[in-house]
Amino acid sequence: MSHQTGIKANAELLKFFGKCKDGKTRVLKVSIENGNLDYKIPTGYAWMLISWVPEAATVRQKMLYASTKATLKLEFGSGHIKEELNCTAKDETTLQGYQRHKVEFSSPAPLTSREEELAEIRKSEVKTDFGIDTKQQTLGGINCPISESAAAALNDMRRRAYNYLQFRIDLEEEKIHLVSAANIDLLKLPGQIPTDHARYHLYLFTHEYEGAHLDSMVFVYSMPGYSCSIRERMMYSSCKGPFSATIERHGIEIAKKLEIDSGTELTEEFLYEEIHPRKLNLRPQFSKPKGPPSRGAKRLTKPQAVE
């Protein structure tokens, strides 16, 4: 409660406060005149305290009314005031303005980015209330169904009809759809990665390793940082594990799973190092410990003759 001015209702206003509890008076306008609370009465019903403080009011007026409001409520009877409406513009005092106030008052408070992330995490947590109609998720993530076109593309890629597939998640439908299927050169692969949305990619990396020709299937999960919504980031992160398992159930063996922020990371050197990491000799080398420091030349002792 702010500091109060000490201005109180005069006797006439206090008397009227007692009369208006009978329900016949619907609106009461109170103003400060000559240091006292006075009133003007139109007709109406129900009690809502409207504080009218326009922007054009002086600082002294704003402070005066703000620091007298609690006293007014106390003398009128705080239990009879069901709602309060603070207005600075005339349209806020209309019925439409009151309805906007109700909507804003009932809406949840805005969340920070961290609070939104926690809320999405709670939604995606594994629940223990099992039932015949409940949609469950596995411990490894959310198992979203795939469209018929996506399943057909996976079968085609198993037969090497394509070397590149791209998939997206329909967030409303919670279903994985095919975006594109093509045969592209490795140099054009970075250009296939969107910069505004997350995607799943499947690429057949053809290369030579230790004199052998290899075709390695690479699963790529691209997420361009915080340009995506929290829900999109959570869905793609939760679905990547089950979706990669679905790919392998279609007869496609994944040699490497990657997560990237930008398509510029997908170079030949990067893919080669990820699939064939260098073997480092991490065997520790132990050196022979040195002996104790020298204590000087040994002394010879002459044996004592026994008498």
Whether 246 contacts 146, CB under 8 Å: yes
Average pLDDT over residues 187-208: 94
CATH code of 72's domain: 3.40.20.10
**Who has greater pLDDT, 284 or 93?**
93
pLDDT score for 96: 84
User: Does 92 share its domain with 157?
Assistant: no
pLDDT score for 4: 62
Looking at 106, 140, 172, the residue that finishes a domain is 106
For residue 166, which amino acid is it? Answer: Q
4 in any annotated domain? no
Give whichever of 67-71, 190-194, 300-304 has the largest mean pLDDT.
Answer: 190-194
CA gap 35, 15 in Å, rounded: 18
User: Does 189 share its domain with 80?
Assistant: no
User: Does 259 share its domain with 184?
Assistant: yes
284 in any annotated domain? no
191 in any annotated domain? yes
User: Does 163 share its domain with 83?
Assistant: no
Answer positive or negative: Cα dihedral of 259, 263, 268, 270.
negative
Nearest Cα to Cα of residue 167 among 185, 145, 142, 140:
145
User: Does 156 share its domain with 74?
Assistant: no
pLDDT score for 26: 62
User: Does 267 share its domain with 179?
Assistant: yes
Average pLDDT over residues 250-268: 93
- Which band of pLDDT confidence, cut at 50, 70 and 90, is reported for residue 13? confident
- Given a cut of 60, whether residue 224 has pLDDT beyond it is yes
202 in any annotated domain? yes
pLDDT score for 303: 62
Query: pLDDT by residue (tens digit) across 131-150?
Result: 433 344 444 578 899 999 99
Residue 280 in 3-state DSSP?
coil
Nearest Cα to Cα of residue 221 among 205, 241, 206, 246:
241
DSSP secondary-structure letter at 189?
A: S
pLDDT score for 194: 93
Looking at 44, 77, 106, the residue that finishes a domain is 106
Q: Give the residue carrying structure tokens 């593309």.
A: 153
Residue 49 in 3-state DSSP?
strand
243 in any annotated domain? yes
**Who has greater pLDDT, 110 or 170?**
170
User: Does 156 share its domain with 271?
Assistant: yes
177 in any annotated domain? yes
Q: Residue 9 CB: number of other CB atoms within 10 A?
A: 20
User: Does 270 share its domain with 152?
Assistant: yes
Per the structure, the complete domain to which residue 27 belongs is given by 11-106
41 in any annotated domain? yes
270 in any annotated domain? yes
Average pLDDT over residues 218-222: 95
Query: pLDDT by residue (tens digit) across 77-117?
Result: 776 677 788 888 888 878 888 788 777 766 666 666 666 66
Distance, CA of 233 to chain centre: 8
Across the chain, where does the E strand assignment appear?
29-33, 36-40, 48-52, 83-87, 164-170, 175-182, 199-209, 212-222, 256-260
CA gap 116, 110 in Å, rounded: 9
Q: Based on C-alpha coordinates, what's the Rg of the chain?
A: 39
- Which band of pLDDT confidence, cut at 50, 70 and 90, is reported for residue 130? very low
Give whichever of 4-13, 128-137, 212-221 has the largest mean pLDDT.
Answer: 212-221
CA gap 180, 157 in Å, rounded: 12
Average pLDDT along the chain: 78
Domain count, the chain: 2
